């Protein structure tokens, strides 16, 4: 068994996007075992989630364990920290333990890039960015490996964060703008911890593709429910999205009917589903799948050195 | 984050039995979070199981990942291999990764010892042992730390295994006997991978306590369903036992009604439930709980050295 700290030498986004697309294709073909994510909630702040999966065609199995604790920032720790255990599909032995903290942001960015490449009506794009944290950066970099990004319009609740983000991505003509202005784009990505809609339906024009990334637990939402009703909503996984994705609150309040879901990203990349017309508004509702964690863990193992640990 | 290979210096059974009793008490007080064990089944042989839990009063959280593969023996690998990840309850950070292969057998043995101490009608006992594998040895050793074992009657499908077991435990007057003879005891422990009843109702006399350990997945069973009907059945966890314990097959076939369950081991150790009379036959139906894995992992961390691993 080896431990991979993955502190340097991340795989390139071109590689990651390919690997993530491949596991979504397996998902679209119905060829994965992925039990529902299991949540354990601390009496204090935060929770941790256990995410097992198995991809028979890729010979890949394992579990990601990931926590979310909004108080960690004040402690100088990441809000999200993660570990992936890879299991040998022949013997069941744990064969690798991987620091998946950074990989979690990267694989989530890659899912947004795959969704955008298939669902956006054009491949040269202005990118709107709502939320300017680590996930927003990963989304931009992954997108850049999949499409031509000519301009970036960034909004954050904290203006300073938006300006720092704009400065970091000056090469992409990034600038800090109002929330409404950020929505005037070809592809909008939202990655905030919001529990109230931020993006209003009337701000989104025809043909926009939205990557709704922030909502990954019951009670979270970033988009006006009216926007979901006028859009074609694609999810990463039906069960997870209904439970904890962008659509979870509107479903609970009766404003969105899960029967309206237009398809899954796996169905999109395998050509079974897609946007209905160039003018449609499409939304990718991403909750984050264990199969994405297995895909990027496999890349990290290929690229990394790791430490040998005695086992069993 | 530290890695504990746990290759030597196992905690003593006296310590383990105490720690296991403490977590069953928390379970009996309804003070644990323990989502259902999640199974992933390989296309080839075997499966792996993901077992998260959280004990707020003990400040202990984590996940065990454990596989079962009957073909591993032929490969020179353990049938069961396991890894436990301990999560810091304040920050959610993974703080330890523990080789739990041997600890899994030990904590299971300890649960049998705790059950026997509370449910057996006497504390000086003849022990019947059905199945002579690693688990049977752990059960005997744990029991020896809780009760006075004066004689051991062992049966195994392979006579050679039974004789080797008897030789190993000659100090306990262990001898290899017929299956029916092994059942003529004060405490019977069964730990085979059987899918057919081995122990017949008419072989078990009044006042016997049985630790039914082998059945831990749907389809497995070791006891005659008629024996369940004339006994008082205590389970480790209602949901897990109904799904995958000794009672799972008789429930599926309609021969056992889950309403008959006499209580949980947690309810027994907290004094809420117990055997009804000295003559009753009691059964402890053990499936193995994630809280047991957390308890023994905490002991292994206290006792062990471990390697420092860079994280996050």
Residues A280 and A297 both lie in one domain: no
Residues B152 and B233 both lie in one domain: yes
Residue with tokens 């080839």: B44
Among candidate residues A64, A220, A230, A273, the one labeled active-site is A64
What is the side-by-side strand order in the sheet with A148-155?
A174-176, A148-155, A124-130, A187-190, A209-212, A282-285, A232-235, A263-264
What per-residue confidence (pLDDT) applies to B305?
A: 80
Residues A30 and A75 both lie in one domain: yes
Q: For residues B82 and B67, is the Cβ–Cβ distance under 8 A?
A: yes
**Token pair for B293:** 């894995």
Within 8 A by CB and 6+ apart from A160, the residues are: none
Residues A14 and A142 both lie in one domain: no
Report chain A residues whose CB lies below 8 A from the CB of B26. Answer: none
Closest A-chain CA to B67: A92
Residues A36 and A116 both lie in one domain: no
Q: Do A312 and B46 touch (CB under 8 A)?
A: no
Residues B86 and B135 both lie in one domain: no
In tens, the pLDDT along B5-63 reads 987 778 899 999 999 999 999 999 999 999 999 999 999 889 999 999 999 999 999 99
What per-residue confidence (pLDDT) applies to B7?
A: 77
Rounded Cα–Cα distance for residues B27 and A181 (Å): 53
Q: For residues A187 and A166, is the Cβ–Cβ distance under 8 A?
A: no
On average, the pLDDT of chain A sits at 96
User: Does residue B114 register a pLDDT over 80?
Assistant: yes
Confidence of residue B312 (pLDDT cuts 50, 70, 90): confident
Confidence of residue A252 (pLDDT cuts 50, 70, 90): very high
Dihedral over Cα of B220, B199, B197, B164: its sign: positive
On average, the pLDDT of chain B sits at 96
User: Quick one: what percent of chain B has pLDDT higher than 70?
Assistant: 100
- Report phi then psi at A150, rounded to 5: -100, -20
* Cβ atoms within 10 Å, residue B225: 17
Query: Helix crossing, A134-144 with A101-119: angle to 10°?
Result: 50
What is the C-alpha R_g of chain A?
19
Kindly report the CA angle at A276 between A273 and A279, in degrees rounded to 5? 140
Residues A28 and A85 both lie in one domain: yes
Of A35, A48, A310, the CB nearest to B92: A48
Residues B264 and B164 both lie in one domain: yes
Closest B-chain CA to A102: B312
| A62, A79, A92: best to mutate for the B interface, most B CBs within 10 A | A92
Give A103→chain B minimum CA distance, Å.
11
What per-residue confidence (pLDDT) applies to A235?
A: 98
Report chain B residues whose CB lies below 8 A from the CB of A38. Answer: 35, 38, 50, 52
Report chain B residues whose CB lies below 8 A from the CB of A97. Answer: 3, 83, 97
Interface pTM, i.e. ipTM: 0.92
Q: Do B44 and A90 touch (CB under 8 A)?
A: yes
User: Does residue B246 register a pLDDT over 90?
Assistant: yes
Nearest CA to A112 out of A100, A98, A99, A130 is that of: A130
pTM: 0.93
Residues B72 and B118 both lie in one domain: no
Of B50, B90, B91, the CB nearest to A52: B50
A160 flagged as catalytic: no
Residues B89 and B176 both lie in one domain: no
In tens, the pLDDT along A13-26 reads 999 999 999 999 99
User: Does residue A242 register a pLDDT over 90?
Assistant: yes
Confidence of residue B233 (pLDDT cuts 50, 70, 90): very high
Q: Do B85 and A83 touch (CB under 8 A)?
A: yes
Query: Residue A122: which CATH number?
Result: 3.40.50.720
Confidence of residue A312 (pLDDT cuts 50, 70, 90): confident
In tens, the pLDDT along B139-168 reads 999 999 999 999 999 999 999 999 999 999
Confidence of residue A285 (pLDDT cuts 50, 70, 90): very high
In tens, the pLDDT along B283-306 reads 999 999 999 999 999 999 998 888
Of B54, B75, B99, the CB nearest to A91: B75
Which range of residues forms the domain containing residue B9? 2-103+291-308
Closest A-chain CA to B53: A40
Residues A125 and A202 both lie in one domain: yes
Query: Residue A96: which CATH number?
Result: 3.30.1780.10
Query: What average pLDDT does the segment A253-277 reach?
Result: 97
* Cβ atoms within 10 Å, residue B17: 23
Catalytic residue ranges of B: 64
Confidence of residue A6 (pLDDT cuts 50, 70, 90): confident
**Token pair for A294:** 């297995």
The count of domains in chain A is 2
Residues A136 and A262 both lie in one domain: yes
Of B87, B94, B310, the CB nearest to A7: B310
């Amino acid at each position: 068994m080896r431990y991979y700290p993955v502190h340097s030498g991340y795989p390139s986004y071109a590689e990651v996007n390919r690997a993530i697309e491949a596991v979504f294709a397996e998902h679209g073909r119905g060829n994965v075992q992925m039990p529902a994510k299991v949540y354990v909630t601390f009496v204090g702040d935060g929770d941790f989630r256990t995410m097992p999966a198995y991809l028979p065609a890729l010979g890949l199995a394992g579990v990601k364990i990931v926590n979310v604790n909004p108080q960690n920032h004040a402690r100088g720790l990441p809000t999200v920290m993660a570990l992936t255990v890879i299991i040998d599909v022949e013997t069941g032995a744990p064969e690798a333990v991987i620091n998946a903290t950074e990989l979690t942001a990267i694989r989530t960015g890659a899912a947004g890039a795959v969704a955008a490449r298939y669902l956006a009506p054009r491949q040269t794009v202005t990118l709107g960015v709502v939320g300017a944290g680590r996930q927003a950066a990963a989304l931009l970099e992954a997108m850049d490996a999949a499409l031509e990004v000519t301009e970036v319009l960034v909004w954050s609740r904290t203006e300073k964060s938006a300006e720092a983000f704009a400065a970091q991505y000056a090469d992409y003509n990034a600038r800090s703008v109002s929330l409404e202005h950020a929505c005037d784009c070809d592809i909008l990505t939202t990655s905030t911890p919001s529990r109230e809609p931020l993006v209003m339906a009337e701000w989104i024009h025809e043909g926009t593709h939205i990557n709704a990334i922030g909502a990954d637990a019951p009670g979270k939402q970033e988009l006006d429910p009216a926007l979901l009703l006028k859009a074609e909503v694609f999810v990463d996984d039906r069960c997870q999205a209904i439970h904890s994705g962008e659509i979870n609150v509107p479903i609970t309040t009766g404003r969105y009917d899960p029967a309206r879901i237009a398809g899954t990203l796996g169905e999109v990349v395998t050509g079974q589903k897609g946007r209905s017309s160039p003018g449609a508004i499409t939304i990718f509702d991403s909750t984050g799948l264990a199969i994405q964690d297995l895909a990027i863990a496999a890349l990290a193992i290929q690229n990394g050195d790791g430490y040998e640990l005695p086992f069993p």
